[in-house]
Chain A
Amino acid sequence: MDAGKTPTVGRIRHDHHGWPRHGTHDANPPRPSGTSTPPRRTRAADMSTSGGSVRQRPRGVVSGRYRLAVASRSLAAVIGGYGCAAAFAAALAVALPLPRSEAVLWGTMLSFVVWSVAALWAFAARSAGRAWLGILLPAAVFGAVVLSAPAPT
């Protein structure tokens, strides 16, 4: 555990998820360069809209804005991701130049991959707004493909 080597002995520094820095799911401690007093701002740090304030808070207490951002990203991942995947499946079903049953099966089988990617994106994006944008935009494109196709016979 590198916590003790840092200048902040006896106190665990927290990242913006309210986690101790050494407690990421990474067996490798952060590089020594990262242990100097002003902690580097990382993209993960930017995930929180609450800025650097969380770092000073006691563990377990996070700002309301941070919670809102996480809730928003979670919704984007679950609801937005599902919508995007469903639109993707439907788009493939109508747009693939294959027999109808084949297009439906490919679309449905691959939709779960789309959902997974959308879920990852929701938490990898720089901000909650960008998370939504990156999911709704492709979903709209897929939706447009479905709507422009002729109605089922």
Chain B
Amino acid sequence: MKEGFRQAMAWLHTWSGLVVGWLLFAIFVTGTLTYFRPEITQWMQPELSTEGNTAQHAEAAERYLRDVAPVAQSWFISLPDEREAQLRVFWRELGPNGRFQRERLDPISGEPTSARDTMGGDFFYRFHFELAMPNPWGRYLVGVCAMFMLVAIITGIVTHKKIFKEFFTFRPRKGQRSWLDFHNVSSVLALPFHLMITYTGLITLMLLYMPSAVEVAYGGDSSALFSEAFPQQQGELAGERAPLAALAPMVAQAEARWGPEAGVSRINVQYPGNQNASVALQRGPGQGLSHETDKLHFDGVSGELLGESGALAPAATTRQLLYGLHIARFAPELLRWLFFVSGLTGCLMVATGLVLWTVKRRPQHLKSGRLPFGLALVERLNVAVIAGLPLAIAVFFHANRLLPLDMAQRADWEVRVFLACWLAALIHALLRAPRQAWIEQLVAAAVGCMTLPVVNLLKTGDHLPAALMRGDGVAVGFDLIVLACGTAFALVARAVYRRGRTVPAHAPRQAGGPSTVMSNADAQTG
């Protein structure tokens, strides 16, 4: 009975993983990159400077917003900090369905930034949960993937009797066994992370995915839920106008209280230009795991301090904690790298799982001399996603350096280049034999990564030694990572190439017993 249950779970693990595997890989890769979203933005906007202090940045944003939206439903200012170089402002026009607008500003002048037009790290952040699809379809699709992922992880755990022993087991050059071992290690190594990141990912958009509770308790009005669960000092819009008090003194008060290190990171102004305007200043991350950080509330007209945000109730605290765990803004540098590495093992887990599916099936069909359509399709999609996506990302970075700076809709074109490259990878994978496709796309990805520092040098004049000399962690880190990735892709490409060439010589040794079915596993590798 027990084995029957495990077999059923193994079946579920295989299929729930396969069905969404390719999207999951893309979600994992872009999500992992998102841990360094501000750093990627800095690299993609080399014109950005990090001058001035928080009070100056707040003043710059205020100047701009007073100019373009003196009376509005709300303003939202996201201030630069030691990681984030951008000053971003958002505002909603007056009225219940007021238009939502955004602008990126020069942190000193308060004018729209003259830095090159790019989505920067935000591209990966948004792709991670929207897949470059229109709202809300991408988000729904990601939610479905996350649910499958959750099921795949749980069934994956159930399937393993000897999870501890298998963790220390790797049998290289054994075809399917090696893939299985590697899949096990990459899964188990960061298992708590995988479970956490999948569940908390669902939590980030839970009201979109599971609106039933809000429906019965609030008649579907989620903003009512939010104002009850996360109380803010919200007034009603008054009939009379009144000028908004200056923001800089409020920032100074907040910094006096919190210290400049974990200072103000966000400013939210409700009803600017109205008699009942209010201002909330939010503290930067670093206090704890939770997404919720301290807030100070001010009267928007008198500028008087009204009070501090109180503690949340247990469920609301839990929700903010889970949200905070997912986006990991709290993580200092070392921990952030640990999250990044865990994310990479997640990518490997999905990739090896996908390859394993084909490696397991191909030998049996090779004997009959005919590959079923499903297997052929999975093999090709594996190439297009596992090798094609990194290639497209490398090309995306190239586009950031190579597209003309004054191009109209430049940010959109960068994304189009990315999507076009990925599509080309898909077509290439469909046309070529899988082994050739693996080699060619992996080599292309390796070249794409390794030429990035060169292109960067030609276009901006910056290079690794110079970055090292001035202690620019972002520039150094970016170059080292793309070089490491390029090397890794090149090594895998070489392994695939050699494996295919040496089949006959190795086949008898690989068989190692009666399992001659394995001797052709080499034909499919990546």
Instruction: Enumerate chain A interface residues (CB-CB to B < 8 A).
Output: 1, 3-5, 9, 12, 15, 17, 19-20, 23-28, 30, 42-47, 59-60, 77, 85-87, 89-90, 92-94, 98-109, 111-112, 115-116, 119-120, 123-124, 146, 149, 152
Contacts and interface: CB of A to CB of B under 8 A. Distances in A.
A43 B6 CA distance: 9
B489 to A, nearest CB: 28
Most buried by A among B13, B158, B372, B514: B514
B5 A44 contact: yes
B515 A4 contact: yes
Contacts of A109: 203, 206, 315, 318-319, 322
B217 A94 contact: yes
A145 B159 CA distance: 35
A28 B162 contact: yes
Contact of A1 (B3, B215, B316, B518): B518
B10 interface: yes
Interface stretch (B146-154, B391-399, B495-503): B146-154
A146 to B, nearest CB: 6
A44 B365 CA distance: 24
Interface in B208-249: 209-210, 212-219, 225, 228-229
B185 to A, nearest CB: 11
Contacts of B314: 102
A120 B218 contact: no
Given A3-B515, A43-B5, A120-B9, A101 B316 contact: yes
Contact of A86 (B155, B162, B210, B229): B210
Contact of B217 (A5, A44, A104, A115): A104
Nearest to B361: A23
Nearest to A86: B212
B217 A102 contact: no
Contacts of A149: 216
B213 A90 contact: yes
A108 B210 contact: yes
A134 B151 CA distance: 17
B181 interface: yes
Contacts, number: 175
A74 to B, nearest CB: 9
Nearest to B161: A28
A94 B4 contact: no
A15 B4 CA distance: 11
B132 interface: no
B176 to A, nearest CB: 9
Contacts of B514: 1, 3-5, 9
Contacts of B360: 23
A108 B154 contact: no
A90 B147 CA distance: 19
Given A1-B518, A92-B213, A116-B151, A104 B7 contact: no
A25 B216 contact: no
B202 A112 contact: yes
A5 B13 CA distance: 27
Contact of A103 (B151, B217, B322): B217
A100 B517 contact: no
Contacts of B9: 120, 123-124
Q: Select the residue from B177, B181, B209, B315 with max chain A CB neighbours within 10 A.
A: B315
Contacts of A89: 210, 212-213
Given A86-B212, A123-B8, A27 B166 contact: yes
B1 interface: yes
10 contacts: A27-B169, A47-B8, A101-B225, A102-B315, A105-B315, A108-B210, A112-B206, A116-B147, A116-B150, A116-B151
